[in-house]
Chains A and B, each alone.
Chain A
């Protein structure tokens, strides 16, 4: 491979530095910005979670059919939505990295994967604890549950593939191909309850009809969605900072930053 300014790290930054639109796609400029923003997103997540839990446990009424067991909805549905949403955002950044060859895009994709995998696990976990009292079983191989489990394996596959490749730029490219291929699973999860006969109930909330639940239940659920959204942004900004430091460890600015931290 010929070494041109574009495929060295420094050349890349010069290359994207031409346009102010791409200014924050340089890890060096994004690192302090992410550090400033992360605590604010974390505080927003805490406040929204407090409000959402208050609505969910103290304002929303008891469900006539399910009793108090239904209160799992306030964490289960937000976690499940985030598990799918984070995957789409991860695939978006992976695709941006493939298209524009910007280093930060791949780092963002890598930073999102563990948080997405965590929410996928939490959606499965809380769903299992909800299924036992309402369906009488912890697990069933229906389309919704199975496709969500496949999502967990897609996250694991993405992380394992990236961990197995030493060169970070090549790891980004390989991971991007896997992430983009796996996007097909997202509509399958979402529409599984319509396409197949599932034990899992249909969507309680959709764009073209009123939510099939009490207004206070709906409000509590949406506030919890916002809380987990803010949490995800905070966690992935914190992780992308770690990834930037690890990958740019030999650069002058990281050395200066590290010596300024004592």
Chain B
């Protein structure tokens, strides 16, 4: 085990900014990409259903 305590772990031997700055941005942006993809598919489906409804009215 490398760490004596939680605060020791979070301090990263004085490199917290660099280590957490890397991991935070990586996992933040990867999560964002997946969320954006889910939203993109939803909005395509919504638009497809709207245009299908328009065609149905004509």
User: In the complex, A241 Cα to B38 Cα: how many Å?
Assistant: 11
Closest partner residue, chain B, to A78 (CB atom): B26
Cβ B44 vs Cβ A245 within 8 A: yes
Point out the residues of chain B lying under 8 angstroms from A195, CB to CB: none
User: B57 an interface residue at 8 Å Cβ cutoff?
Assistant: no
Which has the most chain B C-beta neighbours within 10 Å: A58, A68, A69, A114?
Answer: A68
Chain B interface residue number, banded? 20 to 34
Chain A's closest residue to B23 (CB) is A75
A62 vs chain B, min Cβ distance (A): 6
Q: At the interface, yes or no: A262 with Cβ under 8 Å from chain B?
A: yes
Which residues on A sit within 8 Å (CB–CB) of B6? none
Beta-carbon contact of A72 and B48 below 8 Å: no
Report whether over half of chain A's contact residues are helix, strand or loop; otherwise say mixed. Answer: helix
A67-B13, A245-B41 known; A75-B48 Cβ under 8 A: no
Whether A69 contacts B2 by the Cβ 8 Å rule is: no
Chain B nearest Cβ from A66, distance in angstroms: 9
Contact A126-B26, Cβ < 8 Å, known A68-B12, A69-B18, A245-B44: yes
B22, A62: Cβ atoms closer than 8 Å: no
- Check B26 against A68 for contact (C-beta < 8 Å): no
The answer, yes or no, to whether A51 is at the interface (CB within 8 Å) is no
Query: Which A residues fall within an 8 A CB radius of B?
Result: 42, 57-58, 60-62, 67-69, 71-72, 75-76, 79, 114-115, 118, 121-122, 125-126, 129-130, 132-133, 231, 234-235, 238-239, 241-242, 245-246, 249, 254-255, 258-259, 261-262
Task: Report B's interface with A, CB cutoff 8 A.
Answer: 1-3, 9, 12-15, 17-19, 21-23, 25-26, 29-30, 33-34, 37-38, 40-41, 44-45, 48-49, 51-52
